[in-house]
Amino acid sequence: MESAEELALLSTLAQTSTRPVRVALRVNPDVTVNTHRHITTGTRGNKFGMPPEQALQLFRDYADHACLNLCGLAMHIGSQICEAAPYRQAVSRLLALTKTLKAEGVHIRCLDLGGGFGIDYGNGSSLSFSEVAQVIADTIHTEAPDYDGKVVVEPGRSLVADAGVLVTRVNFVKEAEPRPFLILDAAMNDLMRPALYQAVHPLLTVSYADNRVQRQFDVVGPVCESTDTFARDYPVSEDIQAGDLMAFLCAGAYCSVMSNSYNSREIPPKYWSMRTLFRSSDGGSARKSSWHLKIKINSWHCRPEDSFRLCFYRFRDLRNQFNLLTAFLHRL
């Protein structure tokens, strides 16, 4: 529950339940995270969660409630976080509350630490799962060695972002000062992250190898908004021309799910391959070029005669759990 008001509503709804409803309160641990301010959620002033003192008071107020069993604490401090330090600080604050509650006779059975683990959007920064797991484990072992409840996380982007690409075509190469514009047929309605929080996605040309001589472009969409800008001063093959296909990488998270039909634009179709996630058999890491898949894409971004090879590369191993893949499109 995010607030006292939500909890009060739940207590009314829970009256129809045959057994007590288990509840976790979301705490705002008030930590500073080095990410875009629009995706910061665990700092004082953000709308999410409640201060630890308020959570403590609610645990007291609802201690003997007939229909609700308050037994968990939750947090989610933001998204695209590339440092482990804020997790240490936030977990520490949750554990301090857990210990206070324990002293008052309340047994916390679950700590939900949220997600936010940053991925590499092409600038080399990311947060490794092993690093953040280590920080969480160390903090718990040091500060609350007798905590015996569950610890859960809610990774989102870090599981799926690398498994999707957005294919787009160049509408125009517009000569301008201080830089030429590359005007794509994809726009802010297809990929909102750049307009929402100045995110930059790696952008590849499909038609050419990326080792050609490059030129700096401002890469934009065709919608009548100046925020319809994907990247400024971005290097692209200098011989790129209208009609060429390009692909935004890392578009498997917060891309198609955020797409919309603003400006009467059609939402582009999606193509799925169930084989994009598979179990690791070798335990190795950063093995490249697992397999290739030929696909035909029929969408308004592509002409019917276009055919691609979509190459997936394994890039990370999670101790025999799911391997994450990254996809590259090559025009055939």
Amino acid at 107: H
Q: For residue 251, give the nearest of 293, 205, 208, 203 by alpha carbon.
A: 203
Residue 197 within binding range of ligand PLP, rule CB under 6 A = no
Cβ at position 166, least distance to ligand PLP in Å:
17
Beta carbon nearer to ligand PLP, 49 or 268: 49
Taking residue 1's Cβ as centre, other Cβ atoms within 10 Å add up to 22
Beta carbon nearer to ligand PLP, 117 or 217: 117
Give the residue carrying structure tokens 């997600």.
115
Beta carbon nearer to ligand PLP, 157 or 169: 157
Give the tokens for residue 142.
């040091």
Distance CA 139, CA 129 (A): 15
Cβ at position 134, least distance to ligand PLP in Å:
18
Q: Which residues contact 166 (CB under 8 A, 6 or more apart)?
A: 186, 190, 191, 201, 247, 248, 251, 255, 256, 268
Asked if residues 236 and 214 have their Cβ atoms less than 8 Å apart, the reply is yes
Cβ at position 116, least distance to ligand PLP in Å:
4
Cβ at position 289, least distance to ligand PLP in Å:
27
Residue from 67, 82, 224, 302 carrying the catalytic annotation: 224
Beta carbon nearer to ligand PLP, 47 or 294: 47
Annotation says 71 is catalytic:
no
**The sheet that has 203-205: what strands, in order across it?**
203-205, 245-248, 166-174, 181-184, 214-220, 229-237
Question: What's CA 208's distance to the chain center, in Å?
Answer: 29
Quick one: CA dihedral 41, 43, 49, 52, positive or negative?
positive
In the window 146-165, what residues touch ligand PLP (CB under 6 A)? 154-158
Residue 76 within binding range of ligand PLP, rule CB under 6 A = yes
Asked if residues 70 and 26 have their Cβ atoms less than 8 Å apart, the reply is no
Per-residue x/- mask for ligand PLP, residues 237 to 276, rule CB under 6 A? Answer: ----------------x-----------------------
At residue 258, the 3 state secondary structure works out as helix
Residue with nearest beta carbon to ligand PLP: 156
Cβ at position 174, least distance to ligand PLP in Å:
35
Cβ at position 27, least distance to ligand PLP in Å:
12
Looking at 28, 35, 40, 79, which residue binds ligand PLP (CB under 6 A)?
79
The three-point CA angle 300-302-307 to 5° equals 150
Taking residue 18's Cβ as centre, other Cβ atoms within 10 Å add up to 5
Beta carbon nearer to ligand PLP, 114 or 180: 114
Give the single-character DSSP code of 267: P
Beta carbon nearer to ligand PLP, 46 or 69: 46
Per-residue x/- mask for ligand PLP, residues 104 to 123, rule CB under 6 A? Answer: ----------xxxx------
The count of residues interacting with ligand PLP (CB under 6 A) is: 12
Chain positions contacting ligand PLP, by CB under 6 A: 76, 79, 114-117, 154-158, 253
Instruction: Just list the catalytic residues.
Output: 224
